[in-house]
A and B are shown apart, each in its own frame.
Chain A
Amino acid sequence: QVQLQESGPGLVKPSETLSLTCTLSGGSISNYYWTWIRQPPGKGLEWIGYVYYTGSTNYSPSLKSRVTMLIDTSKNQFSLKLSSVTAADTAVYYCARADYGSGSYYMDVWGKGTTVTVSS
């Protein structure tokens, strides 16, 4: 079945760049919106943005100045870079597959999540 797996450093220093990769297995990367979501400890979900399989992107306005998302269809991978991180960026980061149907976008496959802590 379709699976997603996040990978990347669990600890990032303040002011540095957080870099995560999500690897897709068991499915096609085409025709979907590849999405990043995060969840600070004890708080709710926050949509970070998506990269479409064509490479076009859509970022949350609150994070847009610091976010870059890329996709490598040959490797079935997509990535997230978040620059100038602070402690407020400490969270569980999820990658997810999103599609559009029946009048809404929806995220139907999620990775297990990876914890990223920002600390010196």
Chain B
Amino acid sequence: SSELTQDPAVSVALGQTVRITCQGDSLRSYYASWYQQKPGQAPVLVIYGKNNRPSGIPVRFSGSSSGNTASLAITGAQAEDEADYYCNSRDSSGNHWVFGGGTKLTVL
């Protein structure tokens, strides 16, 4: 099992807001980065650090962190946001990196 825990599946109605969470002890000390992966494609970075979006990522994607939980929010979810989402951060030792198990987002 991963040191970063994500809900396996989340759904959201089109145009509504959804929050995808990632829990782990290391998140009390380190920020997470977030990746979107669509079927048959390589992952794409959507959020890193406190709340930074790479160029080309829509503003509806945002990140936050509190205690041992990092969150990725999509405000006004679109059909094209349907994908798997993975968090990544340090492991409990702080020396290595680890991915969460991933969350499958369905847009209804």
Q: Are A110 and B44 in contact (CB under 8 A)?
A: yes
Task: Check if A104 sits within 8 Å of B42, measured CB to CB.
Answer: no
Is B45 an interface position by the 8 A CB rule?
Answer: yes
Interface size class of B (residues with CB under 8 A): 20 to 34
A46 at the interface (CB under 8 A from B): yes
A-B contacts, CB under 8 A, total: 77
- B32 and chain A: residue at smallest CB distance: A104
Q: With CB as the reference atom, state the residue of chain A lying closest to B102.
A: A44
State whether A45 touches B99 (Cβ < 8 A): yes
Number of residues on chain A facing chain B (CB within 8 A):
24
Q: For the complex, what is the distance from the CA of A112 to the CA of B48, rounded to whole Å?
A: 21
Question: Is A112 touching B42 in the complex (CB atoms < 8 A)?
Answer: yes
- Give the CA-CA distance A47 to B54 in the complex, in Å: 21
Which residues of B line the A interface, CB within 8 A?
A: 2, 30-33, 35, 37, 42-45, 48-50, 52, 54, 84, 86, 88-91, 95-102
